[in-house]
Amino acid sequence: MKSKKSLGQNFFVNKNLCNQIAEIIVKEDPDVIVEIGPGKGTFTSSVREIYKKEMILIEKDDFLTKELRMFMPDLKILNIDFLDWDFIELEKYKDNKILFWGSLPYNVSKPIIRKIVSSKYFLSTSYFIIQKEVAEKYISKDPNNNLLSIQTSIYASTKKLFDISPNSFNPKPKVNSSFISFTPKDGISENLKDEKFLNFLQNSFRQPRKTVRNNLHDITFKNESIVEELLNKRPQHLSLDDYSLLFSKVI
């Protein structure tokens, strides 16, 4: 089957690496695995050889969904765009260990991951194959932070496990990929998930080469002397804790 560029399809063809990744996923011993974009079912087949619990597959492509349903009739397969999915099928698993996983289309990996890590169902380590350049942004720490790494660090700790050559895909992408994990954080402050704080973060990175003070020039802080040092730094030099402190001083 020919891949569809509009869906960002690059089918995985490295069977040995596929089996290695399947073993890493199954070692988490989840009660249910949600696979995003199973495509031709290459990873699904490897996982099913060693994992006998429940799986939910989310596949946007109509033709691939029909093929998957034909060859894997025992699995729940939803023909839907993951970004449109309301997670209703996960309600019955809300007290169980749900693992999200997928070799994600490069063009929508960030909104997919954001939807997962910010959801109430993100309670165990999840794994994804994404573009290497994007993976490097997720795992960045101060003094090389970025908006993506800071936003994600509210919900999860990230770790890049290894890189993947374009030769593992057909058609071959023009970039390298990475296998990356996201582990949920405990006791997340509701203040950090507040829309006002998220907007504050975005504004702080409005012009990354300028200081935080310049980016937040329209905001007044109480006891500014306490946070003056932070305000005079560039956005990438601040940690999530630094931004939380800054936000607490906004008048």
Confidence band for 94, pLDDT divided at 50, 70 and 90:
confident
pLDDT in tens, 19-57: 999 999 999 999 999 999 999 999 999 999 999 999 999
- Residues in contact with 94: Cβ distance below 8 Å, sequence separation at least 6, in sequence order: 120, 121
Please tell me whether the overall predicted TM-score, pTM, comes out greater than 0.85 for this model: yes
- 6 pLDDT exceeds 80? no
- Cα–Cα distance for residue pair 151/166, rounded to 1 Å: 28
171: pLDDT strictly greater than 90: no
Q: Which residue has the higher pLDDT, 215 or 171?
A: 215
Nearest to 177 by CA among 134, 229, 234, 224: 134
Q: What is the mean pLDDT of the chain?
A: 93
**pLDDT (tens digit per residue) in 173-224:** 999 999 999 999 998 888 899 999 999 999 999 999 999 999 999 999 998 8
Confidence at residue 4, expressed as pLDDT on a 0 to 100 scale: 45
What phi and psi values does residue 233 have, to the nearest 5 degrees? -95, 165
Fold adopted by 190-248: Helicase, Ruva Protein; domain 3 (1.10.8)
CATH fold, domain 5-184, is Rossmann fold (3.40.50)
- What are the angstrom distances between the C-alpha of 147 and each of 125, 202, 238? 22, 7, 11
Tell whether the model's pLDDT for residue 7 goes beyond 80.
no
| Residues in the chain, overall count | 251
Question: For residue 1, is pLDDT > 60?
Answer: no
Q: Identify whether the C-beta of residue 129 lies closer than 8 Å to the C-beta of residue 18.
A: no
Q: Can you read off the two tokens belonging to residue 53?
A: 């619990």
> What single string gives the DSSP state of each residue in 47-105?
HHHH--SEEEEEE--HHHHHHHHHH-TTSEEEES-GGG---GGGGGGTTS-EEEEEE--
Return the domain boundaries, the chain: 5-184, 190-248
